[in-house]
Amino acid sequence: MTFSVLLTVVRLCHYLQDPHLVARFQNICGVRGTFTTTGSSKVADRAHSHNNGACHHHVAGEDDRENLSSVGAGEGEIISKVKPLRKNSLTGDDGQEFLIDNRFLYYLFTFGTELGNETFYITFFPFITWNVDAFISRRLIMVWVWVMYLGQCTKDVLGWSRPASPPVVKVEVFYNSEYSMPSTHAMSGTAIPFALYFMTYGRWEYPSTLGFILALCWCLLVCSSRIYMGMHSVLDVIAGFLYSILILCFFLPILDLIDGFNLTCRYAPIIIISLHLGLGLFSFTLDTWSTSRGDTAQILGTGAGIALASHVNYHLGLMPDLTPDQLPLSMPALSPSLVAVVMLRLVVGVLVLLATRAVMKAITIPLVCRVFRVPTDDLRKARQHMEVELPYRYIVYGTVGFNVVFLVPLLFSYMQLS
């Protein structure tokens, strides 16, 4: 009986990993590949061009219905010819054009997948730090760092490729050269909302049912978006979700211990820097160079910078945590002045972070290349050296993380925006 159960599980895994399952989901959602049939190519040729992610539409008429039916579109439907919004991060390939006949789902899942990209992280975490709750933010970032690190390392150990195309339509190609199992988007899309829910439960006053529903919707949107984008099989996404839940079950109970150590231990700065750097070095030994190596170093650098700044703030008496008698917190009443202050903090803070990243990048890459005698004629090739990519990402994003918690709040105090 044990063997039959195991055989059933293996068959289920093979089914969930089948790229045709992804293709069917895409078809249901209105995504059509131009590689499928000659008819679909004719429709692609009749569609208007796509520039920088903007969809230009072709309305189906009498002469087009035969061709539209070949790609699954019906009479009178609107067909949009688009290309992936970003080029492949490793090869520079801009992907193949495809057709969509459900613009709402296209934009919805594009938004969902952006909830796991750098643009979201560089705005969401600072927003929580500056405008909501710095205590929650620094702990949430700790969870995010471990979830993403373990997910990236597991990808490199397993080495599973992305779903095959065809039959899958590559709506996104930016991460297409990286490995697939598990989906780190699904992992972050599970860990962030549910960790946020459990950390704020009892600390903030809000309907717990509503909070759980929002966390679940966030999770489902991110997970399903990775299948829609053609980046992951259903098995990758399910594994990412379960893996993230497992990590949360382990880390949430010990967050008090880790956070207390980072804030109070006199040797915490040395341990924080060496631990995150050591983890980065380990990840670079798992496989040949790819953008996931840089992403891992970037995540570790951000986590180290946040932890160091929190330690400094604690010992300088800056941004002190609330005492138990000040809890629970309630949402303030929205007013034009409050919204204006919140938006001003976000804009000023993000501009400082972007400037920090640009300046540190301009300084660090040439400096590291000079130290390790790596030619700088082609920066893409130069960054494929571990001795360049690891310190560059670690230093640049460590500084960005440090400024999120230390420099920007000081600037807000000076500008009377605290």
User: Which are the catalytic amino acids?
Assistant: 185, 232
Point out which residues pair with 51 in neighbouring strands.
Answer: 54
Closest CA to 69 of 36, 91, 93, 96: 36
Give me the helix-helix angle, 184-200 and 134-158, nearest 10°. 150
Q: Are 324 and 110 in contact (CB under 8 A)?
A: no
Note the Cα 352 to chain centre separation in Å: 21
The CA–CA distances, whole Å, from 367 to 343, 361, 395 equal: 36, 10, 12
Tokens of 354: 């972007």
Q: Which amino acid is at 301?
A: G
CB atoms within 10 A of CB 56: 12
Nearest to 179 by CA among 329, 293, 92: 293
Residue 294 near residue 386, CB atoms below 8 Å: no
Q: Is 368 helix (H, G, I), strand (E, B) or coil?
A: helix
Spatial contact of 398 and 306, defined as CB atoms under 8 Å apart? no
The number of residues in the chain equals 418
